[in-house]
């Protein structure tokens, strides 16, 4: 099995009223762990690598590992570039066969966001690669909620943005934030419902880790839910435990990172289940 088409998976999810958790991977071990649990849950698997990750490891290495995982899997596996900013990152991901890319120009003006997004859509679609973009801006959990709220997605602008850019999926800002929250987040489900009525394509939720109520979003159009912080926490904690409790001479990289990544299995499985992706492969 080769890498699956992200657009196909997300369109099916939106129509079916469920969402795919998109897990940010960082290396071979994390890819193997996520794909393995998706397979056990009979769920479509959507893994994604951030721009920093492909700079560290190389888009070619990440794509090669993902393709092996997809070939050996019994469920569809798609590979996504998360939060791309630099033109070269898109070219690398597209060249190496990523299923989809995200152009994040959400900090730009509406017109500039449209302009940059259209450029990537033209290139990516010409190569059969799906494109996600963001309108509004998903902030950081360390900022005040009132600051993040200023950048929530406007439903009417969202409809216009999708029409102008021809993107395949739209990331929206409705109350989530990246990283750990310093406040209790509240999703603006009414805003999401309004966006969903105006925007027919799959919607995406970023900064979903630690957010109460994410399971309520798939019936309102969310087809992809990004998860990073919630799987990193158990991985780092387990790695620290292993390092603290074993003599250095008995440790090897594999004996650290394999069990460390497996510590995130309960989190991975939980998101698959609460978002309704189990059994949808």
141 is in an annotated binding site: no
83 is in an annotated binding site: yes
CA distance 11 to 114: 22
Give the DSSP per-residue string, 6-28: HHHHHHHHHHHT--EEEEEP-SH
Angle between helices 28-40 and 59-72 (to 10 degrees): 30
142 is in an annotated binding site: no
110 is in an annotated binding site: no
Q: Shortest CA distance to 76 belongs to which of 109, 53, 100, 103?
A: 100
104 is in an annotated binding site: yes
130 is in an annotated binding site: no
Q: Is 147 assigned a catalytic role?
A: no
Find the catalytic residue in 27, 60, 82, 188.
82
178 is in an annotated binding site: yes
Give the DSSP per-residue string, 137-198: --EETTS-HHHHHTTPPPHHHHHHHHHHH--SEEEE-SS-EES--SS-----HHHHHHHHHH
206 is in an annotated binding site: yes
227 is in an annotated binding site: yes
62: tokens are: 């990440």
DSSP bridge pairs for 43 = none
SS3 state of residue 53: helix
217 is in an annotated binding site: no
Angle at 187 between CA 118 and CA 174, to 5 degrees: 20
156 is in an annotated binding site: no
207 is in an annotated binding site: yes
Tell me the backbone φ, ψ of residue 59, rounded to 5 degrees. Answer: -60, -30
Binding-site residues for dihydroxyacetone phosphate, in ranges, read 179, 207-209, 226-229
Binding-site residues for Zn(2+), in ranges, read 83, 104, 134, 178, 206
Active site residues: 82
Binding-site residues, in ranges, read 83, 104, 134, 178-179, 206-209, 226-229
């Amino acid at each position: 099995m080769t890498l699956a088409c992200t657009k196909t998976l997300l369109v099916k999810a939106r129509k079916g009223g469920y969402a795919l958790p998109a897990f940010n991977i960082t290396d071979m071990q994390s890819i193997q762990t996520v794909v393995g649990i998706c397979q056990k849950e009979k769920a479509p698997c959507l893994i994604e690598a951030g721009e920093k990750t492909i700079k560290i490891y190389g888009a070619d290495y990440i794509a090669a590992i993902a393709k092996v995982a997809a070939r050996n899997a019994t469920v569809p596996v798609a590979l996504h570039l998360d939060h791309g900013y630099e033109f070269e990152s898109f070219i690398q991901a597209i060249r190496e066969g990523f299923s989809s890319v995200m152009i994040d120009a959400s900090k730009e003006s509406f017109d500039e966001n449209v302009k940059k997004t259209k450029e990537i859509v033209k290139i990516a679609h010409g190569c059969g690669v799906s494109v996600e973009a963001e309108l509004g801006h998903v902030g950081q959990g360390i900022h005040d909620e009132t600051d993040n709220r200023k950048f929530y997605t406007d439903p009417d602008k969202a409809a216009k943005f999708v029409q102008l850019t021809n993107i395949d999926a739209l990331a929206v800002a409705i109350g989530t934030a990246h990283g750990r929250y310093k406040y209790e987040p509240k999703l603006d489900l009414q805003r999401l419902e309004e966006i969903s009525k105006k925007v027919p394509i799959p919607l995406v939720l970023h900064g979903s880790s630690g957010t109460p109520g994410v399971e309520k979003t798939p019936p309102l159009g969310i087809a992809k839910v990004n998860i990073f912080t919630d799987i990193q926490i158990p991985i780092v904690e387990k790695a620290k435990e292993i390092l603290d409790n074993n003599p250095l001479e008995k440790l090897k990289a594999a004996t650290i990172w394999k069990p460390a990544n497996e510590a995130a299995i309960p989190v991975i499985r939980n998101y698959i289940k609460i978002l309704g992706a189990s059994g949808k492969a």
